[in-house]
Structure 1
Amino acid sequence: MKDLDYNKISVTTVSGRYITYDHISEFLSSLPGRFVIKIEGESVRKESIKSITFGDGPKKILMWSQMHGNESTTTKAVVDLLSYFNQESTDVLKLVKECTIKIIPILNPDGARDYTRVNANKIDLNRDAQNLSQPESRILKKVYDKFEPHFCFNLHDQRTIFNVGETIKPATVSFLAPAFDHERNNSPSRKMSMKLIAAMNSKLQKEIPGQIGRYDDGFNDNCVGDAFQMKNTPTILFEAGHYENDYERDITRKFIFKAILKGIKTIANDRIDEFTVDQYLSIPENGKQFVDIIVENIDYKSNHLTKSKIIPIQFKELLILGKVKFKPELHIFEKEPKEFFGHKTLNCNDANDMLWLKENDLLKLLS
């Protein structure tokens, strides 16, 4: 079967790291009536939180993005997904006959506007699943209870620090079948999550071999994925990560889109049991061995000896005049690994690299 032409369905008017409802409203307004757009409630600052529902099949899938406001890659991916479903191809007609899909593209619009992880009350919504102290948390719970999904897709971004296993490959996409108890046992719903991830991994390995990781499965019932898994709803955590030179994450969005679509097709075609728990467990766990930049060949004097050291640099993301800027800063590891890698390497023996370091006020950090 011929693969789809992603370039024909990608919504290029929605791009970059800073995504709010302002950026997607024109596209959402262009969707035809078979996409039912509903205001589900309001954020702390009274901004509308919307859902888009389409399809009329018996298998119900709920997905939400930007629970953390500064994690926008998956929002771009679900916009591309809506574009795909706006076609009238044979594949689309079959999928909407089998599935009903509900998407909340931006659950935390206040955090999205501020480009922060938390909401306007400085609360991490992904630690509010039990207390339900925030309006955004209550909206998601209300939608979940009313929609009664058979599957949940919990869509996030992860930092550039993650690599796959102990390899030098970045974790461009990571998955998790959340635990439902402290012992991390496998319930029927969790096993189904694992099998569905194995299906999506089989697709992505053809696109970005070796760049798919498995997220840590430590249990926390305040996390939404764990909470929904506790309710026996197969739930999958998606983490959009780094692809080479793709700090705007307009390449990674394609792989998230393809993973989501593979998941939907696997559900629609009743093919989940063609995949196994062991295939899921074979996905390497994420390491934390990357930094954005390694600076090499720095000479400094200590005890009258000249030594060479390597300096790790990490970008801090700052929202400036509606654009996300990447400010390089000295990186301090929580626990320094035996070996670490850089997405980019600068050499102090290279004049151009030294100019870049000077322009970014980094020379003082290297002394």
Structure 2
Amino acid sequence: MNLEQLFLDNKEKTIEGRYLTLESIEPILKRINTNKQLSVVGESVQGRPIYKYVIGTGKTKIYLWSQMHGNESTTTKALFDFLNVLHNGSDLAKDLLANFTFCCLPMLNPDGATLYTRSNANEIDLNRDSQNLTQPESKVLRAVFEGFKPDFCYNLHDQRTIFGVADTGKPATVSFLAPSYNEEREINDSRQKAINLIAGMNAVLQEFIPGHIGRFDDSFNINCIGDTFQYLGVPTILFEAGHYPRDYEREITRKYIFIALVSSFKMLNENVIEINRTDDYLNIPQNKVVFYDFIYKNIKINYDGNEKITNFAAQYKEELVNGNINFNAYIAKVDDLEVFFGHEVFDAQGAMYEDQDENFPKLDQKANFCLNKKLNFVNGLIKK
């Protein structure tokens, strides 16, 4: 099967970019509501509907939810790409629909999606509310879990551009985690199933983006939903859609999340998951905070009357302005960058730094500056 072509043939073209709201996906949900698969299972803090979409008649039940964090939309796009596969009438679609029942909450946190925030409208991180269930969105997620009684849970997220694959210098484009179910991080039957499935997805993705797959930290936190569901005995997999070079809109990463989803269902359907792939799972390098969006090396500055050479880094902040996400670069670190990588690296070779302030890079200052009075940087990039 050509997974890249499958993606291209089924990509949901009405949604793209990072800012995905309920208004973005409601027309799609209504279009694919061909047999009353769609229902409203609750409301957000601000009264927006939380939709559930159930499709398939198979024995194996898969529970998927996305945009638990409102500003993490990549997996939502990939989820709709996959739902298009289920509606394309192919032999693959018929096979999956006959063997699986998919229960999807494509946007758990519609208020956060509108506000482009991680938290919900009450400024609560829903992924730390799995025990107290203080928020209406958390209660919906748990109620659907208890009613659906899934065989596998897919917890779909994005991660920031700061994460790399260990110290390899490669960004973590896709990362996985089989959450722990206890403080000792032991492996029981439930967690083993998640581990085996991740190992299988990793093997597939290595063919497309070798070295760009990471493994998330598995420290136990019962307040996290993945840890809770694993504790309750349901194999749970955390997906983290990360950075691919220059893919800040996450349209390329979207494809690899789609490939991971489809390959996981194929493996489950064909029952090709090995009994114990713990070593393969543990050999996936861990995520590590080692990246900045920009690193500038060998910059000459005048500091207290003395010229010196320094390095500094800038990082994008994703800021919602008039319904659009603006990537605005701010200086994030000065000096001590030896262990960090940049998605973009510029070697100034001793050029003199100037800006409109004190001619010295300062934290949280916009990354607008000049080198040797002729090379202008605006929003982190060379102005052409």
TM-score under structure 1 length normalisation: 0.93
Tell whether 2:344 aligns with 1:344: yes
Corresponding residue number in structure 1 for 2:320: 319
CA distance in 1, matches of 2:22, 2:381: 36
- Summarize the Cα distance change of 1:97–1:329 in structure 2 as closer, same or farther, 3 Å threshold: same
CA distance in 1, matches of 2:228, 2:331: 37
2:164–2:287 CA contact under 8 A, matched in 1? yes
- Summarize the Cα distance change of 1:63–1:361 in structure 2 as closer, same or farther, 3 Å threshold: closer
CA distance in 2, matches of 1:55, 1:134: 30
Cα distance, 1:92 vs structure 2: 1.3
CA distance in 1, matches of 2:8, 2:301: 49
CA distance in 1, matches of 2:380, 2:166: 33
CA distance in 1, matches of 2:331, 2:308: 19
Structure with bigger helix share is 1
Could you tell me which amino acid in structure 2 is paired with residue 266 of structure 1?
M
Corresponding residue number in structure 2 for 1:16: 17
Corresponding residue number in structure 2 for 1:182: 183
Corresponding residue number in structure 1 for 2:287: 286
Corresponding residue number in structure 1 for 2:76: 75
CA distance in 2, matches of 1:356, 1:13: 39
Cα distance, 1:273 vs structure 2: 2.1
- Summarize the Cα distance change of 1:76–1:356 in structure 2 as closer, same or farther, 3 Å threshold: farther
Cα distance, 1:332 vs structure 2: 4.0
Q: How many residues align?
A: 362
CA distance in 2, matches of 1:337, 1:345: 12
Cα distance, 1:91 vs structure 2: 1.2
Deviation track 1:261-311 (CA, whole Å, cap 9, x = no partner) reads 111111222222266111111100011110000112310245765332111
**Consecutive unaligned residues in structure 2, runs of 5 or more:** 353-368
CA distance in 2, matches of 1:117, 1:33: 32
Corresponding residue number in structure 2 for 1:360: 379
- Summarize the Cα distance change of 1:29–1:353 in structure 2 as closer, same or farther, 3 Å threshold: farther
2:311–2:337 CA contact under 8 A, matched in 1? no
TM-score under structure 2 length normalisation: 0.89
CA distance in 1, matches of 2:375, 2:234: 50
Could you tell me which amino acid in structure 2 is paired with residue 190 of structure 1?
R
CA distance in 1, matches of 2:376, 2:115: 29
Cα distance, 1:208 vs structure 2: 0.4
Corresponding residue number in structure 2 for 1:259: 260
Q: Percent identity?
A: 45
CA distance in 2, matches of 1:269, 1:298: 56
CA distance in 2, matches of 1:119, 1:64: 15
**Consecutive unaligned residues in structure 1, runs of 5 or more:** none
Cα distance, 1:357 vs structure 2: 5.2
Cα distance, 1:169 vs structure 2: 0.6
